[in-house]
């Protein structure tokens, strides 16, 4: 790169660095994010400290809650934060809270839809075997 730093690229930041940066950019503390993800605080801290990584379903939820792509979280490439110089307008706390809740619900709905599809497929196979 010429003249610019890739703040969150694979050579500059770790997976945990990107989680922490996106969480801070979303205006969330660790406790709040852990609660929204349905994980223990120690689990989230392990992710941010690069001691462990989330499973795919939690990674998807994490990306949705933090408004970044899963690819960006994993590699630093794709839709995410560009760097600390990036400044977005600060939203009132209640508006930001509502947006975060909408993202969380959207992720939960998507996860439930995936589960429903798998259950339907299983049921169809079971019924096919019975007939």
Per-residue confidence (pLDDT) for residue 98, from 0 to 100:
82
pLDDT digits (tens, 9 = 90+) for 41-72: 999 999 999 899 999 889 999 998 998 988 88
* E strand residue ranges, the chain: none
Residue 76 near residue 8 (C-beta atoms within 8 A): yes
Per-residue confidence (pLDDT) for residue 45, from 0 to 100:
95
Separation of first and last alpha carbons in the chain: 62
> For 52, left (φ over 0), alpha (ψ -120 to 50), or beta?
beta
Per-residue confidence (pLDDT) for residue 31, from 0 to 100:
93
Please tell me the distance from the alpha carbon of residue 107 to that of residue 101, in angstroms, as a whole number. Answer: 10
Per-residue confidence (pLDDT) for residue 72, from 0 to 100:
87
Per-residue confidence (pLDDT) for residue 52, from 0 to 100:
92
Please tell me the distance from the alpha carbon of residue 44 to that of residue 127, in angstroms, as a whole number. Answer: 41
pLDDT-flagged residues of the chain (< 70): 1-12, 81-91
Residue 111 near residue 60 (C-beta atoms within 8 A): yes
Residue 73 near residue 63 (C-beta atoms within 8 A): yes
Residue 121 CA: distances (Å) to CA of 111, 112, 117, 131? 16, 14, 6, 16
Per-residue confidence (pLDDT) for residue 6, from 0 to 100:
54
Alpha helix stretches (DSSP H) within the chain = 15-25, 30-37, 41-48, 56-66, 70-75, 93-130
- Tokens representing residue 1 in the block: 């790169």
Q: What is the pTM of this model?
A: 0.58
């Amino acid at each position: 790169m010429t003249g610019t730093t890739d703040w969150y690229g694979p050579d500059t930041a770790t997976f945990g660095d990107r989680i922490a940066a996106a969480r801070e950019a979303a205006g969330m503390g660790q406790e709040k994010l852990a609660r929204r993800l349905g994980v223990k605080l120690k689990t989230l801290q392990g992710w941010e400290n690069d001691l462990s990584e989330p499973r795919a379903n939690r990674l998807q939820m994490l990306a949705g809650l933090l408004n970044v792509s899963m690819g960006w979280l994993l590699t630093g490439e794709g839709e995410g934060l560009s760097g600390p110089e990036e400044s977005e307008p600060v939203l009132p706390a209640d508006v930001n809270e509502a947006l975060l809740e909408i993202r969380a619900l959207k992720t939960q709905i998507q996860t439930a839809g995936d589960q429903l599809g798998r259950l339907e497929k299983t049921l169809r196979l079971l019924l096919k075997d019975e007939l």
